[in-house]
Structure 1
């Protein structure tokens, strides 16, 4: 059986101290601390080898020539000494071109001293935002700046919002060409402890204070000056993600008229002591017993985690149903011995992941053995036969993308909202290495299993049956139109 990964938070604590600090810096009295070119190029070569030999999707959204050219450009950029921040940006820009949501310089897997140096400057914009197209729309004002919900930030320190977005997008992870996912990651909505926007905006444009051009919901324009806030301040405003470490339920279910609304903001329950399966079964049992005619499942803030959706699907299917119409592919039988020291993971069995796999081409082995396959969804308990509606959006990728795709293919529910993250043409995940780059101290995630469809599929996420986009007007009025539609 392929193990599920630990939480990103647990990974940092468990693996972050693996490498001791290296003598990698060149310092002069008149210049900032710089990484040596030799150190960066050494790590680029190591990353290139690890990705070339182990990454199942390296050529899924790029040709071999394109990837070779990008690695060559990364090596050329590394030939000039640069700061740690500049190299992290350079590395992030390269990894974004691989076009996989699980292939990036993971914020949570960097060594503590590097995370402090790169991610904790007190220069975060003091409000929550959502990108709607290239419009930067304020969704909350937790620090009382006086910028109302639904206002649009037109410019920051004279730079247009659209120019800021254009500068940030090439740095952000997503599967394939699913730019809606990139925009969602660049929104500040309290989904996680580190906001992607905060980190990259800080590195490119961070200041102590910002002069803003603001358009309020009525269309009136004005200027405003605001001070940046720290990571600790940001986290006092519920920007810490969902705390699933205890035994307290992280999902809720409530009656809304003749319907029930099940909110599942996270499936990242790796370390949770909460019996989420038992809780979910009890909730569905009550729906059945009380003959509730409609169930609305809200997944919009949920990027993924464990396959919690399978437990819900078992209560919806009428018969045994294949969960996936994909092949699960890997690149290797056994990891080369000389690479293992830099490949951190929570399960060393991944070193032999393809040992019993079936060779299907020069590039791929297919995971066919018992325990490597994803089991079909089998009916369990009394089936809920009511009308199911699932709210989806661009945050959904990994496990929530797979669940939405399963629902779509088997017509188990009506999908409402916006197109998901992930990509129907193929995603990676399941098992991971955390590539420790010893010369510079940085880390890059490396997914090991390719989940590729058996028939041609479009380069996009799962499209809802009923599309209801988030609008600036709804934000200003505090209206949740997808929920309203699902409950109607």
Structure 2
């Protein structure tokens, strides 16, 4: 395990362009030393996994983590392939785990507030889970808290809670002792509910609530009762869509134009990023005049040439990227920067202006945002707000105005544990970092959900947006 930690330290210090964005060299060295001290005694596999996740979380980069989708199947079978899954979906609101769906046989209705699990308070559980969460910077606490939520979508794949709760708080037996406040009776209840396997919970949820939504179901368009258009985009993961997203958007905006709609709501609250092409495509329907790519962003890399012995542990999607790091980036493509990185000159190349579409929307636009919005979703919110293309309603986004790391990735496999972690290759910084704020994009209008909203199936953000439209129309 010490060999794995040494490799991880070397990969991060030699290749990660954002390692010292929120940590000094001394701070990161202390974290490595603290981790190494814990390796003087034998560690269980799950404990080493947890400590690794905490080290990577402390880098404060939303793209640096133990990627659940890239772990070996046999490792996850050992870590979370057992009967350790709680039979609920919930949201963390007002200090409670507020139930949104219940796959157990017990009568704990939607909106009921869990106060403890197996004797652990919600605050204690959240504190642990946040320590292994991913987000950009120090000012994105909402994003870290949001990662605690357990939903239909992440529950069927790899939910943060499912992975880390049984590592932080191992189950003595396959059951959960739940203390909660019933939404219906308002009385305190104590239950012992059987734990499930992942497959059992997914099957029970689908039997009770219908099939788990896929990527295609995350894209929808309809007209609300007042004639407002409602475009919902839960993901920018276009490579996993079976629909043509550009055709979908073209059809949606064509329908808006035909109907003479004056108001449009674009809901991206559940999107944590993906294809940047979605950003450009949407902007072509919102901009009135030709527009350029995002300006004021500088691109950096940590090194122009990597050690082949180090890269033999890394895999990539883009083989050209690995070849460039092995052979060396040409010297005319970068220059040394004062921040200790190399400024990648390709990142400063001006892009041609993009023409708006003929079916561009001429009415008032409302963009619904939230703490899940990182990467490309953050970029959309940022560009929309900067150009005053919409009123932002909801909560602060993820991502960070200080910039973030991403673009292309190295997927490192540790030789002894077999764990995989992601390292982004490029760091994006605002041209004037002195003016940058360590936070996401703040909405123009805040909408904060309460615990009772889940019980009433009440969408406070959407309701507030519709009220804004109604008030505008009444003037």
Task: Return the TM-score normalized by structure 1.
Answer: 0.86
Query: Deviations along 1:72-103, whole A, 9 cap, x unmatched?
Result: 22222223221111100010011110011111
How many residues align structurally?
A: 446
Secondary structure in structure 2 of the residue aligned to 1:270 = helix
2:142 corresponds, among 180, 201, 214, to 180
Which residue number in structure 2 is paired with residue 303 of structure 1?
272
Residue 425 (str. 1) matches residue 402 (str. 2): yes
How far apart, in 2, do the equivalents of 1:373 and 1:272 lie?
A: 30
Match runs of 1:181-330 below 5 Å: 181-192=143-154, 193-207=157-171, 208-217=174-183, 219-236=186-203, 237=205, 243-244=214-215, 250-256=218-224, 257-307=226-276, 308-319=278-289, 320-330=291-301
Secondary structure in structure 2 of the residue aligned to 1:411 = coil
How far apart, in 2, do the equivalents of 1:360 and 1:485 lie?
A: 49
Which residue number in structure 1 is paired with residue 454 of structure 2?
475
CA RMSD of aligned residues (A): 2.1
- Which stretch of structure 1 is more off in the superposition, 364-373 or 198-207? 364-373
Shift of 1:358: 2.3
How far apart, in 1, do the equivalents of 2:264 and 2:67 lie?
A: 36
Which residue number in structure 2 is paired with residue 341 of structure 1?
312
Shift of 1:241: 7.2
Secondary structure in structure 2 of the residue aligned to 1:396 = coil
Structure 1 residues 258 and 273 mapped into 2: Cα distance closer, same or farther (>3 Å)? closer
Secondary structure in structure 1 of the residue aligned to 2:238 = coil
How far apart, in 2, do the equivalents of 1:336 and 1:139 lie?
A: 49
Shift of 1:145: 2.6
How far apart, in 1, do the equivalents of 2:441 and 2:281 lie?
A: 20
Shift of 1:335: 2.4
Shift of 1:453: 1.4
Which residue number in structure 2 is paired with residue 398 of structure 1?
375
Query: Deviations along 1:143-198, whole A, 9 cap, x unmatched?
Result: 34311111111111222111111122111111112121111111101233110111
How far apart, in 2, do the equivalents of 1:310 and 1:252 lie?
A: 19
Which residue number in structure 2 is paired with residue 156 of structure 1?
117
Q: Is the 8 A contact 1:249 1:274 kept in 2?
A: no
What runs of 5+ residues in structure 1 fail to find an aligned partner? Answer: 1-39
How far apart, in 1, do the equivalents of 2:4 and 2:269 lie?
A: 37
- Which stretch of structure 1 is more off in the superposition, 203-212 or 296-305? 203-212
Shift of 1:291: 1.6
Shift of 1:224: 1.4
Residue 55 (str. 1) matches residue 16 (str. 2): yes
Secondary structure in structure 1 of the residue aligned to 2:116 = strand
How far apart, in 2, do the equivalents of 1:176 and 1:242 lie?
A: 31
Structure 1 residues 64 and 240 mapped into 2: Cα distance closer, same or farther (>3 Å)? farther
Residue 381 (str. 1) matches residue 358 (str. 2): yes
